[in-house]
Amino acid sequence: MHTVDDRITERIRAADYQDWRAKMEAIGGCAKPIRLTGGYDLVDAPTGRVIHSHEGDVVVPCNNRRDSVCPSCSARYAADAFHLMRAGLSGGSKGVPEAVTTHPRLFVTLTAPSFGPVHNRSITTHGKVRRCACGDCHHQYDPRIGAPLDPEGYDYVGAVLWQANTGKLWAEFTRRVLRTCARLLGITITAFKEHARLSYGKVAEYQRRGLIHFHAVIRLDGPEGPDLPPPAWATPDLLADAVRLATAACQVDTERPDGTALPLRWGTQLDVRTIAATDVEDDHGAISESKLAGYVAKYATKGTGKSEAADRPIRCQEDIAYLRVSDHHRRIIQTAWDLGELDKYSDLKLRRWAHMLAFRGHFLTKSRRYSTTFKTIRGDRRAFRLHESLTAADLDPTTTLLIGTWDFLGAGHANDAERELAAAIADRLALQRASKYRQEGPQ
Ligand SMILES: [Zn+2]
Ligand SMILES: [Zn+2]
């Protein structure tokens, strides 16, 4: 019987090792690479002549954003999320002009309401840990933090329905911000839209009680987007007032299984901060751009909680018992699973999203004109690599086309030796990135 070490040695000595290693480096040591078979032609576009043909297998990265699934791809996702949010904040790249830094910009955190008291750990202004309602002073890693003081009295149904409707709640919020801006100015919504546009980029972060917060950059631009300045009346104060009023008034109506009304609202905790144009934080609580984009990168790869066991959708009731999650999270998942059986909630697809604690949105969403997209960033990266390879082969990148046809072969590494070698490559690349990160943000 071979040990993993034997198999690793074998892999390194194999004739195709250099080739395999180059492929793994190109995909950053992805933990679950997708293997494809097929081929490509390089075609000279003006003449249609095939310059070069290649057949064989390729590997592409899994692109999973969860650190628990693939450290390498999640690091790249965090970097992309960072650049995407940053472009909308600072401009100067990715189709967003630098002048956006002069537009009114706010950093807003919208929270979940309470569904029952939970164990918490808060700090006094003197840096002391406040005593929790249970009588203990919780350590920061105490698993009880975020769990209900009285699980039987906790409103799990309310929590699940709130979380599943956060997309609607957000849409209603942005509508209201627009309407409130217009109302405060004494103009119609149509008149407002003729002169200004509301853009946002937002990320979702799970709190320890299993409910999400939205952290959003909200910006006022000219009517077509960031290229033109908003009118003089579009001030940060106007936007901040509208955000506060809209948050308080925002409501989505739904009902409990027994038919009683369940109005869904944001939590009363609301944080609204103006974004400083420079990287120096001022003493009025403004937040700097780089600190903010750094938060985004940090949230990007976080899962639903500390254990991050529920990486995949749940297929049956039996799955729930075996998840390595806290009792509290298990109960949220169970509630979502149970409610998912009811017709009245079918549009929420609660079973499909039970493993995400009923949150069915994306980690990062943005309005159309906020900044670039993940697709554009990835396309740019591919285009850049192709451009480099073609130039290296003395081919003209502007007239050479790459035409490929690929079939799916499988996912994941062939064996544990390859998996470990790929992980070592990912580790080394992560170390290289870390030193760069400290200087200029994630790469
Ligand atoms: Zn991957
Ligand atoms: Zn407690």
Ligand 1 centre to CA of 308 (Å) is: 17
Ligand 2 centre to CA of 136 (Å) is: 6
Percent of the chain whose pLDDT exceeds 90: 39
Domain annotation covers residue 392: no
- CA 380 to each of CA 83, 86, 376, 399: distance values in angstroms, whole numbers, following the listed order: 13, 17, 6, 17
* Residue at which a domain ends, from 306, 325, 358: 306
How many folded domains does the chain comprise?
2
Ligand 1 centre to CA of 363 (Å) is: 17
Q: Which runs of E-coded beta strand occur in 5-162?
A: 34-44, 49-60, 105-110
Please tell me whether residue 143 adopts helix, strand or coil conformation. Answer: coil
Give the Cα separation of 212 and 15 in Å (integer): 50
- Is there a single domain that holds both residue 287 and residue 433? no
**Tens of pLDDT along 388-418?**
777 777 777 777 777 778 788 888 898 888 9
Q: What is the average pLDDT value for the chain, to the nearest integer?
A: 85
**Tens of pLDDT along 242-291?**
999 999 999 999 999 999 999 999 999 998 988 876 555 555 566 777 77
- Is there a single domain that holds both residue 142 and residue 247? yes
Asked if pLDDT for residue 166 goes beyond 90, the answer is yes
Confidence of residue 112 (pLDDT cuts 50, 70, 90): very high
Domain annotation covers residue 416: yes
Q: Are 37 and 406 in contact (CB under 8 A)?
A: yes
Domain annotation covers residue 206: yes
Ligand nearest to the CA of 71: 1
Ligand 1 centre to CA of 436 (Å) is: 21
- Is there a single domain that holds both residue 105 and residue 23? no
Domain annotation covers residue 203: yes
- Is there a single domain that holds both residue 3 and residue 140? no
- Is there a single domain that holds both residue 23 and residue 109? no
* Residue at which a domain ends, from 306, 323, 344: 306
Domain annotation covers residue 356: no
Give the Cα separation of 326 and 329 in Å (integer): 5
Asked if pLDDT for residue 438 goes beyond 60, the answer is no
Ligand 1 centre to CA of 61 (Å) is: 5
Ligand nearest to the CA of 149: 2
Ligand nearest to the CA of 147: 2
What does pTM read for this prediction?
Answer: 0.77
Please tell me whether residue 237 adopts helix, strand or coil conformation. Answer: helix
- Is there a single domain that holds both residue 105 and residue 237? yes
Ligand 1 centre to CA of 378 (Å) is: 14
- Is there a single domain that holds both residue 28 and residue 75? no
Lowest mean pLDDT among 10-24, 101-115, 270-284, 420-434: 270-284
Ligand nearest to the CA of 137: 2
Ligand 2 centre to CA of 268 (Å) is: 21
Q: Are 124 and 256 in contact (CB under 8 A)?
A: no
Ligand 1 centre to CA of 173 (Å) is: 35
Ligand 1 centre to CA of 359 (Å) is: 23
Ligand 2 centre to CA of 122 (Å) is: 11
β-pairing, 400-411 with 197-206?
A: unpaired
Ligand 1 centre to CA of 410 (Å) is: 14
What was the pLDDT predicted at 15?
83
Domain annotation covers residue 78: yes
Lowest mean pLDDT among 105-114, 192-201, 424-433: 424-433
What was the pLDDT predicted at 434?
67
Query: In terms of residue numbers, what domain contains 10?
Result: 1-33+412-443
- Is there a single domain that holds both residue 8 and residue 131? no
Residues with Cβ within 8 Å of 208's Cβ and at least 6 positions away in sequence, in order, are 145, 146, 305
Domain annotation covers residue 150: yes
